[in-house]
Amino acid sequence: MKNVLVTAGGTSEPIDGVRSITNTGTGRLGSLIADELAASEDMRVIYVCSENAVRPRSGRVEKVAIKSVYDLQDAVRRLCSERRIDAVIHSMAVSDYTVRAVSTAAALAAALGDGRSDADAVLRAMEKTDVRRAEGKLSSGMTDPLILLERTPKVLPQFRELAPDAVIVGFKLLSNVTKDDLLDTALRLLQNNGCDYVLANDAAEVSSERHVGYLLDGERRYVRYETKRDIAKGIAETVTKEMQRRQ
């Protein structure tokens, strides 16, 4: 039995107890990939997804819901420690930033009233004037609210450490670039993150009816697909063959 981890949907980074910053990741493609893989009785599929993501139809898929990037990181680390993971398809749209502090223009100006204006002073002032409360809600009457973001950890490169023998598929989405730029960027992602394949796609070629994607390997060879269902089948077949080859 092979264990395959599929991530899907988009992460959600909390601003306060009721608000968050998220993205447009729906999980539809990831759910199709999970269903394709689960059709084989030799596969045990674990589907790590955002709470609102599209779910696979197959009842054979184990589902794990997460919210933030840190939730995702904790979930995949736990799963990889509990069982051997033979393949990872990381289709989730992971936020690059999370909320570090929330302040207002007036509070920040007051905190910087001593004349310091360097970057570190701004960061300290934002944190000093952070108006959030645990499990609370920001006032809707705030004037000129300011949100300070900080980078989140990159999850994709962690998979090679967590599952050193797994077949790993990463995803790269750009917008309105040339095909060569898209493929070159995807190849760099593959090389820098220990992936075996990357699904490269351009937002300009993605719609409800059409989804052009290029499944790229380490030699920059690729297969072009035209729909989400074709992409899902192509990835499932490629990953299955690669796992069989490595037996």
pLDDT per residue as tens digits for the range 36-46: 999 999 999 99
Domain boundaries, the chain: 2-96+154-245, 97-151
Q: Name residues whose C-beta falls within 8 Å of residue 150's C-beta, 6 or more positions apart in sequence.
A: 97, 98, 100
pLDDT of 119 strictly over 80: no
> How is residue 138 written in tokens?
């920001």
Place of tokens 């993205």: 23
Looking at the chain, the number of H-run helices and the number of E-run strands are: 7, 12
In whole angstroms, give the CA distance from residue 146 to residue 101. 8
- Judged by phi (left if over 0) then psi (alpha if -120 to 50, else beta), residue 84 lies in beta
Tokens coding 197:
């394949």
Residue 160 has pLDDT above 80, yes or no: yes
Predicted pLDDT of residue 117: 57
Per-residue pLDDT reduced to its tens digit, 21-59: 999 899 999 999 999 999 999 999 999 999 999 999 999
The answer on pLDDT for 81 being more than 60 is yes
pLDDT in tens, 182-225: 999 999 999 999 999 999 999 999 988 899 999 999 999 999 99
Q: What percent of the chain has pLDDT over 90?
A: 76
- Vertex 118 angle, CA 115 and 122, to 5°: 85
Distance between CA atoms of residues 110 and 90, nearest Å: 44
Give, in words, the CATH class of 2-96+154-245: alpha beta
